[in-house]
A and B are shown apart, each in its own frame.
Chain A
Amino acid sequence: MFELFSYGDTGWGDEILRGLAITVQLAIVTLPVGLLLGFLAAFASMSRLGPLRFLGFGYTTIMRGLPEILTLFVVYNGVGLLLNMALRWWNPERGATDFSPFAAGVIALGMVFGAFAGEVLRGAFQSLDKGQTEAGRAIGMTQGQIFRRIQLPQLWRFALPGLGNLWINMLKDTALVSVIALDDLMRMTKVAVGVTKQPFTFYLLACLIYWVMCVLSELVLYWMERRANRGIRRAV
């Protein structure tokens, strides 16, 4: 039984670990992309400019309402189409170029993460104490200093629980990229199943690996939340 999971030619341990590495890479690369989009969405939806506010609202509302797998297909097929059109316009002799499924995964998962993060960050911004910003201005801080020294540290504290949940959701959503043929944990499991004809064993193994990653993430997040809140006196 354990031979199946061993490392090397006889077992599937190394293949599955390679898949796991892709899954982890995808999640780690997606995180900053998603956070950036989240900040942009939050700023847009709090902007004084009407059209920008509308754009922010539209992005967060639409992306949150669509199935993640649909977003993934739209990005994979749609951006691939656009990319080919652009490349052919640049150089008509060029053949069709395949859009990298990894890049599609990062963009699609990042867009989903960004839409949800936009709402989390907007909520965090709105729970900031206005008086502190005014105090900062009163002692002559620039807008940048106020953001860096007063708003950002507290924003982090307010947004961390929400962002933590989004990270775990995104980690689980990475399984979707197996559908567009990226060799992640899920797809390597499928390959192993195809050869060994033991679907339950291997899909259970994959589930357990995702489970461990989620529980570990939770432990780290718990520790981060405690650290972020270390200066706060709790009401008894």
Chain B
Amino acid sequence: MPARHEPIFDRYSVWRLLKESIDGNRGWKQAWRKPEPKARYDVVIVGGGGHGLATAHYLASVHGITNVAVVEKGPIGLGNSGRNTTIVRSNYLLPSNIRFYEYSLRLWEGLERELNYNVMMSQRGQLSLFHSASERDAAVRRGNSMLIQGVDAVLLDREAVRAMLPFIAMDNPMFPILGGLLQPRGGTARHDAVVWGFARAANRRGVDILEHCEVTGIRCESGRVVGLETTRGFIGAGKVGIAVAGNTSQLAAMAGLRLPIETHLLQAFVSEAIKPLIGCVINFGAGHFYISQSDKGGLVFGGALDGYNSYSQHGNLPLVEHLMSAGVSMVPALSRLRVLRQWAGMMDMTMDGSPFICRTSIEGLYLNGGWCYGGFKATPGAGWCFAYTIAKNEPHPLNADLTIDRFFEGRMIDEAGVGPKPWAQ
């Protein structure tokens, strides 16, 4: 049995940067170790994305459970954690969603200090524009829901939007801009940094991050999970938490569970880098189009799903055409800019558009999934709640509604009123 590694930890600061630069940057240590699997852990989290790593971090830091492994079939953070549009916000309509995402947003606000890692959380505001009276009414209902829950929201009229975003088209014949609902505390964060920051922080507390370790089976004995079959051998586990966005149905099927989830494709795009043009995150109702500008200068934008079940991670042109049309129609300045790169992620789309953080019918097996395309902003909140649920074997009030049972009971959390059509959520 290999000797247990001493947790290594480089504290980051400007002084440390200075010191290392004098040494030619040769003194930096690995941000996380690459250990061999142990025979057994108290908790094994399947999925080394932001959610899985955050869960491991909070299991260790909040609940003192440090005999934890995160198993990941590839390298960490290359699933949806590394394929999103980096938006962070809590501007939801339904109270249970507002409470959960607001808690997550508060965690975001302290994440740099919590992790000693600059995740570049940038609260430049998130503005959802409305194009009709009925969309305005829905925005007012939503904004008031937020304010009642103590979340920041500001209603902007048409002139205020024009003043804030002088470059947008106010008068499209079918999508005039009547105003917008602004969440000033919304914004973006650097997606990869969140993964690396949680990995480093979890590693520091002794969590083993096992990359290139694919789960091939979930071993249960008399209704209770006992461990995982993996490509790096059997790993015993007291408890197992699944956090494998996109592949949730596949993992659950290994334990005989059939979930109300379909896997769908979502594309995103980034333009060539330009000098600052767009300050806040903007979301247009027209054709479902959202855009922000990264610190590096690229305009990051996306829209709706391609609209059919897919695990392919590559998108097709109908959505591209529609999205570019919507983009140029709403932000004419985009027309002469160039799109640099396109990518796609696999979304766990649920039947009401809301996620799961819950126990399952198998003792010791817990589920975090179904994030549709809202998973990135949930990263710290989901990790925190999932860690709580695993540690206490019961949900925290923040995630008490996020169960699979809600569909048996008729307690759907359907923000958009779309119903059980995952491809249209």
Q: Do A and B bind each other?
A: no
